[in-house]
Amino acid sequence: MSTEQDAREAQLVERVLASFDGTPDPRLRELMRALAGHLHAFVRETRLTEAEWQAAIEFLTATGHITDRRRQEFVLLSDVLGVSMQTITVNNEAYADATEATVFGPFFVEGSPLIPPGGDIANGAPGEPCWVSGAVHDTGGNPVPGARIEVWEADDEGFYDVQYSDERVAARGHLVAGADGDYRFWAITPTPYPIPHDGPVGRLLAATGRSPMRASHLHFMVRAPGFRTLVTHIFVAGDELLTSDSVFGVRDSLVKRFEPQAAGTTTPDGREVAGPWSRVRFDIVLAPDQ
């Protein structure tokens, strides 16, 4: 590239960055300068063509058009680019042995049913029964009684209740940790499912040879006064999708052994289960707020 060309490009970047100098909010100024700087670096480094920029604008337009109250394609785009996971990583700094956070996903619903200790969140969702138990502690090893534990998951058809057109509430609920921070409930053994891939993000994944599949997981959100809210999942050890999760959500510390139990094996609470079932233990450690 000629010196003259390089100077023209660099001068434009300087002018764009300087245009934010008068931003009253210093944080907005910092964010806009960094964003513009990185975007210009991308355009210059890749020698982006005008046709390619037009294609990118059409892609973002389609992403907006498919987005509505029930479908958030921009979040999905952030997820498959690993930006959601990176933002979570930056904002949930490692603290002692606190449980790691991962992506929230679009399928949490506020106001889920209260499940008593040992109750079943499935509420008719198809899948193999799974006994989940554990306890919530702080990083000093003290129990956190009363912690609110939200859990939600896809059924074994790969769908969350909210993806069906009826009004069912299934495979979700919340529990309250007992005096020792303990909790237990029946769920269904997680199975893999694809993120919604019938829109622009799905086309992007296809064009780049990537799979929309998520590794099998069970979502948790744990809240207690004085503690950082934990949004996480547990993943199934041995799942072949652990290394290719489409939204980069897997953390080694969140991979748990879901122990298969043969049909007829006595259950922890004496419940009669017709076929095979599984069990998993997940002990949760909450970081303090701030």
Q: To which H or E segment does residue 58 belong? A: helix 50-66
138 or 239, CB closer to ligand BEZ? 239
* Smallest separation (angstroms) from ligand BEZ to the CB of 214: 5
Q: Which does 79 bind (CB under 5 to 8 A by kind): ligand BEZ, Fe ion, none?
A: ligand BEZ
* Smallest separation (angstroms) from ligand BEZ to the CB of 195: 4
Phi, psi of 123 (to 5 degrees): 50, 45
Is position 105 an interface residue for Fe ion (rule: CB under 5 A)? yes
Q: How many CB atoms lie within 10 A of CB 162?
A: 17
Q: Residue from 195, 201, 215, 284 that binds ligand BEZ (CB under 6 A)?
A: 195
DSSP state of 254: G
Beta-bridge partners for 284: 136
- Strand, coil or helix: what is 91? helix
Q: Which of residues 78-137 bind ligand BEZ (CB under 6 A)?
A: 79, 103, 105-107
* Smallest separation (angstroms) from ligand BEZ to the CB of 30: 28
HSE-up (13 A, CA, CB side) for residue 78: 14
HSE-up (13 A, CA, CB side) for residue 198: 2
Distant-in-sequence, close-in-space partners of 60: CB < 8 Å, separation ≥ 6: none
Q: Using CB under 6 A as the criterion, what x/- string covers residues 212-231 for binding ligand BEZ?
A: --x-----------------
Q: Which does 98 bind (CB under 5 to 8 A by kind): Fe ion, ligand BEZ, none?
A: none
CA dihedral angle for residue 284, residue 285, residue 287, residue 289, rounded to 10 degrees: 50
Distance CA 25, CA 223 (A): 32
Structure tokens at 199: 């829109």
* Smallest separation (angstroms) from ligand BEZ to the CB of 3: 46
74 or 107, CB closer to Fe ion? 107
152 or 227, CB closer to ligand BEZ? 152
Is position 239 an interface residue for ligand BEZ (rule: CB under 6 A)? no
Sites of contact with ligand BEZ (CB under 6 A) = 76, 79, 103, 105-107, 195, 214, 247
Sites of contact with Fe ion (CB under 5 A) = 105
